[in-house]
Amino acid sequence: MAKSGEDRLSTLPIELIHRILSFLDAAAAVKTCILSKRWRSIWKCLPVLNLDDNYFQDTYAFDYFVDHILSLRDDSANLYELNVVCHEELEDGDVIDSIIDHVTQTPSILSHIQVLTIQAECVVQNLHNLSICQSLTTLELSEIAMEITPFNFPSLKCFYLFDCRFESGSETFFNAFEDCANLEQLFIDDCFFYGEIQNFQIVAPKLIELRISHWRVDEVFDSDCVIELFTPKLQLFRYHDSYMYEFSTEESLSFVEEVYIDMDEFSEDKDLFLRLTELFEIMESAKSVFLSTSIIQVLSMFSKELAEESSPFSRVETIKLIKDSSSSSSSSYAVPSTVMNYLFGKSTEFDIYEWKGTKSRSIQICKG
Amino acid sequence: MQKTEGEESKAENEEVKQVTLMTSDGVKMKVEISIVYEMEIVRSFIEVNDADHSVPFPLPNVSSHTLDLIIELVKNEYDDEFMKTFSHDELKEVLVAANYLNMKTLLDFIATAIANLLEKKSVEFIRNFFNIVNDFTPEEEAEIRKTNEWVFQDLDED
Domains and CATH numbers, chain B: 2-119 (3.30.710.10), 127-158 (no CATH)
| Domain presence at residue A335 | yes
Residues of A in contact with B119 (CB under 8 A): 24-25, 28
What percentage of residues in chain A have a pLDDT greater than 90? 62
Residue A87 lies in a domain: no
Total CB pairs under 8 A between chain A and B: 98
Distance from CA of B145 to the nearest CA of A (A): 8
pLDDT in tens, A144-175: 999 988 899 999 999 999 999 998 878 888 89
Alpha carbon of B64: minimum distance to chain A alpha carbons (Å): 12
- Secondary structure (3-state) at A123: strand
3-state DSSP percent of chain B in helix, strand and coil, to 5: 65, 10, 30
Q: Which helix (H) or strand (E) holds A140?
A: strand A138-142
Enumerate the residues of chain A whose CB falls inside 8 A of the CB of residue B142. none
pLDDT of A361: 47
| pLDDT for residue A337 | 82
Q: Is A14 on the interface with B (CB under 8 A)?
A: no
Residue A9 contacts B where some CB pair is shorter than 8 Å: yes
User: In angstroms, rounded to a whole number, what is the distance separating the alpha carbons of residues A2 and A112?
Assistant: 40
pLDDT value of residue A36: 94
Taking only the tens place, the pLDDT of each residue in B73-105 is: 999 998 899 999 999 999 999 999 999 999 999
What is the per-residue pLDDT for B5? 44
Q: How much of chain A, in percent, has pLDDT values that exceed 70?
A: 86
Q: Is residue A22 situated within a structural domain? A: no
For residue A324, what pLDDT band results from cuts at 50, 70 and 90? low
The domain total for chain A is 1
**pLDDT category of residue A310 using cuts at 50, 70 and 90:** confident
Per CB-CB distance under 8 Å, the chain A contacts of B127 are 35-36
**Does any domain span residue A354?**
yes
Give the helix ranges, DSSP H, for A91-232. 94-105, 107-110
What percent of chain B clears pLDDT 90, i.e. is strictly above it? 66
Which residues constitute the domain of residue A284? 256-368
Q: Which residue of A has its CA nearest to B65?
A: A2
B139 and A CB contact within 8 Å? no
In a domain? residue A332: yes
Looking at beta carbons, which residues of chain B come within 8 Å of A17? 130
Q: What is the DSSP letter of A297?
A: H
- Outline where DSSP puts E strands in A207-285: 209-213, 216-217, 226-230, 236-241, 246-249, 258-263
Interface touch A27/B151, C-beta < 8 Å: yes
Interface membership of A60 toward B (CB under 8 Å):
no
> Is A342 inside any structural domain?
yes
* Spatial separation of the C-alpha atoms in residues A201 and A204, rounded to whole Å: 9
> Within chain B, which residues score under 50 in pLDDT?
1-13, 155-158
Q: Is the CB of A15 less than 8 angstroms away from the CB of B119?
A: no
Residue B104, amino acid: K
Give pLDDT tens digits for A89-113.
Answer: 888 899 999 999 999 999 999 999 9
Q: Is residue A328 part of a domain?
A: yes
Candidates A7, A17, A20, partner chain B, best to mutate (most B CBs within 10 A):
A20
Residue A272 located in a structural domain = yes
